[in-house]
Amino acid sequence: MSRVVLGVTGGIAAYKACEIVRRLRDAGHDVTVVPTPNALEFVGEVTWAALSGNPVATDVFTSADQIPHVRIGRSADLVLVAPATADLLARAVAGRADDLLTNVLLTATCPVIVCPAMHTEMWQHPATQHNVATLRSRGVIVLDPATGRLAGPDVGQGRLPEPSEIVEAALLVLEGSDVASTIGSQDLAGVRLAVSAGGTREQIDPVRFIGNASSGRMGVALARAAALRGADVTLVAAHIEGDTDVSDVTVRQVRTTADLAQAMQEVAADHDVLVMAAAPADFTPVTTSETKIKKADDSGITVELEQTVDVLATLTRNRREGQTIVGFAAETISNVSELLTAGRAKLSRKGCDVLVVNDVSGGKVFGSETTTVHILDTRGLIASVTATKMLAAHRILDAVIIQRQSEGS
């Protein structure tokens, strides 16, 4: 069990921190909430105590014999501030210690994640941008705010990212992963990345289709991971189980393999990286009935199929100069050596830069939160990863960055 200190500042997004506490506790972590006095104007002390299961630390004088302004920061495995106001960012940069939370930030020796939330003008102000850059230079992980509805009728960048995304980042840090430094450095800033996800569906009639077991979770994880690392992300989503809502990610919905091919070809025109994590159907009915096909005695029906377009091969064939393309290969080969041989052959045949191959025998990957993947490029095996899909997504993005650096992109 890790010890997480959740700092909450006085912004309207403070109510979202309630969900962050719940998710962290559900993941098995001990949470101590340190609200600023202004935060308590939005969510009361009783709420924080009930959600966290711990006493709430509100000032440096309560339980003074335990030296809370030093003890809390020293004992934490992670300090997470969500939301963080512009005022908190300024005070943290200046090294102020005028409330318990800023004392915690000064004494913490563990990783620190800060999640700003404020109106667009405040976020874009040169002073705030300077403070964010300064915190990042000191090793603090600062997540960019999302774009969306703010307090009142305003819409713009400054919205707190969704609690699920914040907790995903926190869990990666708590795992001790080096991903924390990549998030903090925003190593994909300025890169336009498109990722496809989910399984396509080919209609037989208005109510029946040919599909596959892909949940789309790996593709969504890739979109979230790339956004965390600063990329400008487009998610081309076929059928996906669960939520596709990712902060500051443009989502395009598709249904069939033909739809997917068209959408990916369109985004390829202005994206630097294409990740084909979707599971397109390889076959589609030659004809589709416009009405529901009725059962007639016990004779059954015959459906004639034809091959669909090879989306990945089309993308590599038409690639722009400097564009990096990642393919996926789901195989039913349990022997790792044979699996890698099949992966190398597909990498060569498809012409992509990186190929992610995994064994899906028995449906053991579909719909799961974890996966085992092998990441290949033209030089051979880069990495084999057994982890959550989010961590696997970051390892795939690591390979993308290595590839682009080797090409001088």
Question: In 3-state terms, the chain is what percent helix, strand and coil (to 5)?
Answer: 40, 25, 35
| 109 C-beta neighbours (distance < 10 Å), count | 10
Q: How far apart are CA 56 and CA 375, in angstroms?
A: 45
Q: How far apart are CA 267 and CA 165, in angstroms?
A: 25
Considering the candidates 103, 212, 318, 335, report the single residue annotated as catalytic: 212
The identity of residue 409, as a single letter, is: S
Q: Which among 123, 186, 389 is positioned nearest to 277, based on CA atoms?
A: 389
Structure tokens belonging to residue 377? 């490029």
Burial of 320 (0-12, 13-18, 19+ CB in 10 A): exposed
The identity of residue 171, as a single letter, is: L
Query: CB of 195 within 8 A of CB of 356?
Result: no
- Per DSSP, the residues of 381-392 read EEEEEEEEHHHH
Q: How far apart are CA 329 and CA 346, in angstroms?
A: 8
| 309 C-beta neighbours (distance < 10 Å), count | 15
Q: Which among 122, 119, 125, 123 is positioned nearest to 142, based on CA atoms?
A: 123
Helix (H, G, I), strand (E, B) or coil at 373: strand
Query: CB of 240 within 8 A of CB of 220?
Result: yes
Phi-psi region of 214 (alpha: psi -120 to 50; beta: other; left: phi over 0): beta
Query: CB of 225 within 8 A of CB of 397?
Result: yes
Phi-psi region of 198 (alpha: psi -120 to 50; beta: other; left: phi over 0): left
Q: What are phi and psi of 230, to 5 degrees?
A: 100, 0
Q: Which residues pair with 120 in a beta bridge?
A: none
Structure tokens belonging to residue 258? 């033909």
Query: CB of 143 within 8 A of CB of 113?
Result: yes
Q: How far apart are CA 361 and CA 372, in angstroms?
A: 12
Query: CB of 116 within 8 A of CB of 145?
Result: yes
318 among known catalytic residues: no
What are the catalytic residues?
A: 212
